[in-house]
Chains A and B, each alone.
Chain A
Amino acid sequence: MISIETISKLLVRKSVILLIHISIYLVPLATTASVYHVCETCQIKSLGEAVVTANRHDTIKVRSGRYECTNLEITKPLSLIGETGAILDGKNLGYVLKLLGDHITVRGFKIINAGKSYTKDYAAIYAFKASQFKILDNEMVNPFFGILIEKSDNGLVQGNFLSGESSKEDDSGNGIHLWHCKNVDIVDNEIHGLRDGIYLEFVDSSKVRDNYAHHNIRYGLHFMFSNQDTYLNNTFESNGAGVAVMFSKFITMKKNRFLQNWGTSSYGLLLKEIYDADVTENEFKENTIGIFIEGSTRVNYFHNDFSQNGWAVKVSGGCYTNKFFKNNFLSNAFDVSYNSRMNDNSFHGNYWSEYTGYDLDDDEIGDIPYRPVKLFSYIVNKTPETIILLRSLFVDIINFSERVSPVFTPDDLVDEQPSLKPFQW
């Protein structure tokens, strides 16, 4: 028999153990909530000091004011929060913030005077081998590189505003630049006046969503060797050469807008060496070239709008089994341009605003096939100067005769079932 005493003793011992356990787990939790304030009249007067003093998982709040901050290395998990009017001044000396640990959050700062260099990639915010980082709602004025992230993973870059005044490619940096990263989300940022708006190299399984890159001197978005990424709902407008996508596999591009990328070698979207991608529901409007495709294979183009481009789709060599279906081609000077008679791509059931056929059986599919490649586009490919005869009567006549009996253009490049009505989605 166990006596009541022993039971009560046992209970007491258990509750003591429980209390000890609670204190072990809860007390550190309570200390993580500590918040340090930085301001000119506070105990801590600089962000650097606060970072040294703070323990892991602390929060540092920076009040309004201008703080000098150069090459500040953050190696422990911290949240840095800039309250309204908090400005970090890099004094043109180098990096401003360096995130070199995990679980670091940087939010709400205005960062000015980050250094420029011809040998080092100085950035307003630099992250290296960081995991679970968050860079939110910051503003960067005229940085060299804006946000430079290397060998990091599982991060979020959201709501940042980057503006630059770059005019030359060789002495400017990129807005958001990722190198060797994984699982990073780049969301809702605005970038203008830098070299490349967003640049990704060796970045896998990441999402680029709701960004607005405009008036950058080179590309709005530029990515290479980056697989399994998703690009959703971004707008790229009036960038020097548009958007370039190269050497990547399994890419999804959806609901992006490519607008007014005008110039001699400019395009809405350049696809070079892309395999197994989906390009869906994008809008290409008023670009010199809507999509320029080179060496890309198994890419599906579905529900895209091409309107008022010089060339909607320009296909160069080495493109196999690409599919164009249910796209709208509206008032482009040239819908599709090929530089050879070889064709292994299919155009099926698209809407072509220049289609003039009829539909006797009333199924909203034209009864006569449409040939999207004009003889004139072939001639312009061979002799670019002939572009001056665009929309002249003679050109209309030769286009018509070529359409009746194709001699120079790929004769199997036909949309057998052109839609009579533009698609809505």
Chain B
Amino acid sequence: MSSEFGLRDWLLSEEPSSRRQAALSSWYNGWLRFRSNTLAMVGLCVLILIIFAAIFAPVLATHDQFAQDLGQRLLRPGVDGHLFGTDGLGRDIYSRVLYGARISLYIVLLVAMVAPLLGLIVGTVAGYAGGWVDIILMRITDIFLAFPRLILALAFVAALGAGIENAVLAISLTAWPPYARIARAETLTIRNSDYIHAIRLQGAGPMRIVTRHIWPLCISSLVVRVTLDMAGIILTAAGLGFLGLGAQPPSPEWGAMISDGRAYILDSWWVATIPGLAIFSISLAFNLLGDGLRDVLDPKDNGS
């Protein structure tokens, strides 16, 4: 008991005595602030639940995700031990949704690594360098922004061939421009601040300034933006799957599952609705999480 209080005090100390304590205590303070936001906590819980489901899909699944049984096709939820019913080929929807979570999370994570990083590099370099570097980089960004996202992704997938990896690549390539814009706008306000001047006066080069001083300040707003965009990324992936350009059958990608269910939507609503609900809950979870993170990470009300 007392050691627990000791840890809390240690984390909340106004006078940290080591680098590690300072870093941990700033994380802990952020966590405390995040925790006080109920909706964000709900989002986090839902997300943890989905991640949990994805990891333990083999244990939790009641059937083989690919096993077809035409005699058992289009069973209502709850009938014959099929929790969410079966689809047009008699596959268990519950098991498929569980495995589908793996695919969705895989897509989201890959996009979330590639697109913001690309945007961050382009945006901060453009913002810090200024001049013609800025003009060239931002016009390229504008060209990408001018295309409708799904159409551009379609074009990429059509060129690269259908499949999850290519879908991820296509989504990433269409998703980075907004991040570049945000990162550039942030950089423009940061680069003329006194603390950047101060480090320039210590002889720091542009590389160091951008990566060590500007990135840490841009990352918070990008992280928030990414979590808010996650929903859109999942939907684009689902859209590509729906159009047959993302995950290929029989893979249980949620968008592809909805696409399959389209044929039976009037008679057997559950085939399309269950994966739809899964997409809805993961999107909502990411949105709520993003809102909470914005409150925690916003440098404006950080501290003082």
**A, B bound:** no
A residues whose Cβ falls under 8 Å from a Cβ of B:
none
